[in-house]
Amino acid sequence: MGRLFGTDGVRGVAGRDLTARLAMDLAVAGAGVLSGPPSSRRPMAVVGRDPRTSGEFLEAAVVAGLASSGVDVRRLGVIPTPAVAYLTDVLNADFGVMLSASHNPAPDNGIKFFARGGQKLPDDAEDEIERRLVAGSGGGGVPELGFGRVTDASAERERYLDHLLATLPDSAGTAPLAGMRVVVDCAHGAAYELAPRMLRRAGAEVIAIGTEPDGDNINSGCGSTSLDALKGAVVAHGADVGIAHDGDADRCLAVDAEGQIVDGDQIIAVLAFALKDAGALADDTVVVTVMSNLGLRLALRDAGLTVIETPVGDRHLVAAMREGKFALGGEQSGHIILLDHATTGDGLLTSLHLLATAAGHGQPLSELAKVMTRYPQVLISIPGVDRSLVASSPKLADAVRAAETELGDSGRVLVRPSGTEALVRVMVEAADPGQAQQQADTLAAVVRGLA
């Protein structure tokens, strides 16, 4: 089989690609790799999930695999992915497991591991888990220290919420968002209860939508992948701003008072300038991915900031940020990492700092977002193509070079296979939107010809 782990854990259609058996076997293999050296105590793991229906049986399978391997399990219940990362660290767990397919539709699900400290797994750890999975090692007999015990730890969500609010300067006893009316769309996902409570505790007047998960409606016509409901609610309620999360709340996008989208790149720009002004932007550097808008790069460079570029995926962002000890990184999709406060992208944390920046400046979000000019960007996703051909096709390479020559310095081209879905993505930026569309359509036709 091909490599099981993608850019964000193991994902697939629940019950077909991601079965209960695979989930249990992955848990056993993961326990063997992540539990650390033998000691006098059983290892401990935390496990969380989003509200997908399949999360219930997959969680049961993961918990069974861990406990049968001698790992004590603390079940966090329905909780955002970044909360699992945070609690892995503060509860001194040997590792954490999150069951979610993030922004993907309800039939999909995924399994993501966090190493000790709430860190993303390095490639070699994922490779070793796969090796053990294929070899079928582990999971037999009674563990030396006995089977693991399973306890409910859903109350630990309060610890995570307290942590978020404590990241704001001088936040104790204050209401930094007082007077601000906010609509928050929780995508019928993992943050459906925590996100509105966090904003209310910060002093905002909150209108919450996407807060009735039934297991099948996650990300359906709502959340960060479908902003129309949020835009309509912001305008209808006369709100100052709207916030959108995805199914596991590691993303944050925004909508201003006029219903205009403020995407991840614009949020990065706002936070970058705020951190720079506060003297908290390490080395005046921001880490972005190859998908970030050309306008963001130009705005940051014009302000004298250094831009470091990584492949798509917050694991790559985190790796570059940790290596350079940088404070801010993120993606256009709304995965934004504030490394002083989190080990991974955290939508709730991002929203809190974005809103606090707006409140602190006394300006509407629409004004803050003007720190960058967003270049027209056309993104076409193409299914049914052998993704391995993207890097090896001479015809595609020639087409990309021709597009880059025509665009010159006023545009940018990117063709890449998706790391989380069976798609090839074509992205073209240009000062002229018509030119961007034309070049994207031409490249998409070449990609479709690779099928």
| Active site members | 102
Q: How far apart are CA 390 and CA 396, in angstroms?
A: 7
Q: How far apart are CA 120 and CA 319, in angstroms?
A: 9
Q: How far apart are CA 73 and CA 427, in angstroms?
A: 43
Q: How far apart are CA 133 and CA 24, in angstroms?
A: 10
**Burial readout 192-202 (b: 16 or more C-beta within 10 A, e: otherwise):** bbbbbebbbbb
Element (H, E) at 147: none
The answer to whether 98 touches 59, Cβ cutoff 8 Å, is no
């996650």: which residue's tokens? 218
Smallest Cα–Cα separation from 230: which of 180, 184, 181, 177? 184
Element (H, E) at 10: strand 10-13
Helices 347-361 and 81-90: crossing angle in degrees, nearest 10, is: 100
Name the burial class of residue 142, with classes exposed (0-12), middle (13-18) and buried (19+) by CB atoms within 10 angstroms of its CB. Answer: exposed
Strand segments, DSSP code E, in 190-335 are 205-209, 241-244, 253-256, 261-262, 285-289, 306-310, 328-330
CB proximity list for 364: less than 8 A, separation 6 or greater: 240, 241, 256, 257, 358
What is the radius of gyration, based on Cα positions, of the chain? 22
The answer to whether 55 touches 107, Cβ cutoff 8 Å, is no
- In this structure, the chain runs to a length of 451
Element (H, E) at 369: none
